[in-house]
Amino acid sequence: MTTRVKEKTLMEIGDKSKWQVRIVVLVIFALGFVAGALSWNIYRSYRPGPLFDGRRDRYEQMMNQLQLTQEQRTQVEKILSDAAAQWMELRKQSYPRMREIRSQTDQRLQAVLTLEQWEQFKQMRDEMRGGRRGRGRGRRE
């Protein structure tokens, strides 16, 4: 092989590895996005229902703007409380599946990342999760 052919082959290998790195980064970004979306859903699932926290003022405003009678208000509160209970039950049922998906994602990431990258990823993920914990009731496991 001539020197020129060797250089061209090495450049092609270098270009190929650059694309592989880009694809890995893109996959990690996509997984991070999915993990973030799942985390957001988990975070929201453990917040109190619509009649609690800072949402109570908005709820009261809505009830007043609708000019509900006392009987209507009682019925609306019952309907919303029932719906909130059903949502909480659905979240409790889906949580084990979300945990399983998170575990599978971790295993797949460990297969791609170096040990040092994996440790760094876990630390960054834990820091992100910790920041969200302070705003709600926290994660349940």
pTM of the model: 0.39
The pLDDT of residue 116: 93
Is 82 in a helix, a strand, or coil?
helix
Query: How does DSSP classify residue 110?
Result: H
Confidence of residue 62 (pLDDT cuts 50, 70, 90): confident
> 105 CB contacts (<8 Å, ≥6 apart)?
31, 34, 35
- For residues 42 and 98, the answer to whether their CB atoms sit within 8 Å is yes
Cα–Cα distance measured from residue 55 to residue 129, given in angstroms and rounded to the nearest whole number: 23
The structure tokens listed for 17 are: 């590895």
Res. 140: pLDDT tops 60: no
What confidence tier does 30 reach under pLDDT thresholds 50, 70, 90? Answer: confident
**What is the identity of the amino acid at 7?**
E
- 67 DSSP 8-state letter: T
Q: Which of 19, 137, 42 is nearest to 91 (CA)?
A: 42
Cα separation, 108 vs 138, whole angstroms? 26
